[in-house]
Structure 1
Amino acid sequence: MIYLVLSCRYLLGGVFLVSLVGKLRSRAAYSEFVAATGALLGVVDRTARWAARATVAAEVVIVCALIAEPVARAGLGLAALLLGCFTVALTRALRRGSTTPCRCFGASTTPIRVEHAMRSAVLGSIALGGLLIDLTLATHRYELAGIAVSVPAVAAGILLTTRLDDVADLLR
């Protein structure tokens, strides 16, 4: 079970890291993220800027916490909370009929869809599940072979999660 928890941590850490890079890769990308945040939340520019900054700050804290063993549980809990907020925000925007692009990972021009809310809900469930399993573990000793097996699965999960729009379009 320790490798399942480790995989949950690194999957979520990788997804949030890709998200951060996509949002912060340029001034234009960050501005587009702020605008999308405002449109998704249905708020004015000042509130959108605050929400965007808070999101980026939370993602930085989560990535750092998920990497560091002593605070990994806090990282899983914060990830579950933030992903729950994302799920609610996306669901509310969908109910309002918003066609704002999901800038979760930066440059996407695809309008938000149910898949985006589902992705956040599934990732939130992974974070919560990882936390609950981790609370049952007595030790966190890892073997190199177990880590080596986990890495390809985590990498595939990060790729599929962050390229959801492409995967969904391919399957349509």
Structure 2
Amino acid sequence: MIYVVLSCRYLLAGVFLVALVGKLRSRATYLEFVAATGALLGVGDRAARRAALSTVAAEVIIVCALIAEPAARVGLGLAALLLGCFTVALLSALRRGSTTPCRCFGASTTPIRVEHVLRSATLGVLALAGLLVDLTLATHHYAPAGVAVSVPAVAAGILLSTRLDDVVDLLR
């Protein structure tokens, strides 16, 4: 089970890292993220700027905590909490009929849809499951072979999560 926890940690760290790079790669993409945040939350510019900055700060903290072994449980807990907030915010925006693009990973033009809610909820469940399993573990010693087996699954999960719009469009 230790490799399940490790996989959850690095999958979530990878997803949040891709999200950070997508939002912060230029001033324009960050400002688009701020505007999308305001539209999704139904708030004004000032609240949107604060929410966007808080999101970025939380994602940085989560990535660092998930990578650092002593803070992994904190990272999993914070990831579950933030993803729960994302899920509620996206669901609320959908119920209001918002067609704002989800700028979770940067410059997407795809309006939010149920798949975005499901992605956030699924990642949140993974974070919570990883935390609960981690709490049952007595040690955190990893064999190289176990880590090597986890890497392709983590990479596939990151790719699927961050390219969800492309995958859904391909399957339609």
Q: Which TM-score band (shorter chain)?
A: over 0.9
Q: Pairwise mapping of residues 1-172 of structure 1 onto structure 2 (< 5 A)?
A: 1-172=1-172
Displacement after TM superposition at 1:76 (Å):
0.1
Cα deviation code 1:35-94 (max 9, x no counterpart): 000000000000000000000000000000000000100000000000000000000000
Q: How many residue pairs align between the two structures?
A: 172
Amino acid at match of 2:93: A
Q: Distance in 2 between matches of 1:24 and 1:87?
A: 22
Q: Distance in 2 between matches of 1:29 and 1:142?
A: 38
Q: Distance in 1 between matches of 2:51 and 2:107?
A: 19
- Moved segments of 4+, more than 6 Å: none
Q: Distance in 2 between matches of 1:147 and 1:23?
A: 29
- Structure 2 runs not aligned, ≥5 long: none
Q: State TM-score, norm by structure 2.
A: 1.00
Displacement after TM superposition at 1:156 (Å):
0.5
| Percent of aligned pairs sharing the same letter | 84
Amino acid at match of 1:23: K
Q: Distance in 1 between matches of 2:62 and 2:97?
A: 30
Displacement after TM superposition at 1:159 (Å):
0.2
Q: Distance in 2 between matches of 1:6 and 1:70?
A: 13
Q: Distance in 2 between matches of 1:118 and 1:147?
A: 28
Amino acid at match of 1:89: A
Displacement after TM superposition at 1:138 (Å):
0.3
Q: Distance in 1 between matches of 2:171 and 2:139?
A: 41
Q: Distance in 2 between matches of 1:145 and 1:29?
A: 39
Q: Distance in 2 between matches of 1:101 and 1:2?
A: 37
- Structure 1 runs not aligned, ≥5 long: none
RMSD: 0.2
Q: State TM-score, norm by structure 1.
A: 1.00
Q: Distance in 1 between matches of 2:153 and 2:107?
A: 25
Displacement after TM superposition at 1:108 (Å):
0.4
Cα deviation code 1:4-60 (max 9, x no counterpart): 000000000000000000000000000000000000000000000000000000000
Q: Secondary structure at the match of 2:76?
A: helix
Q: Distance in 2 between matches of 1:151 and 1:136?
A: 23
Q: Distance in 2 between matches of 1:12 and 1:161?
A: 10
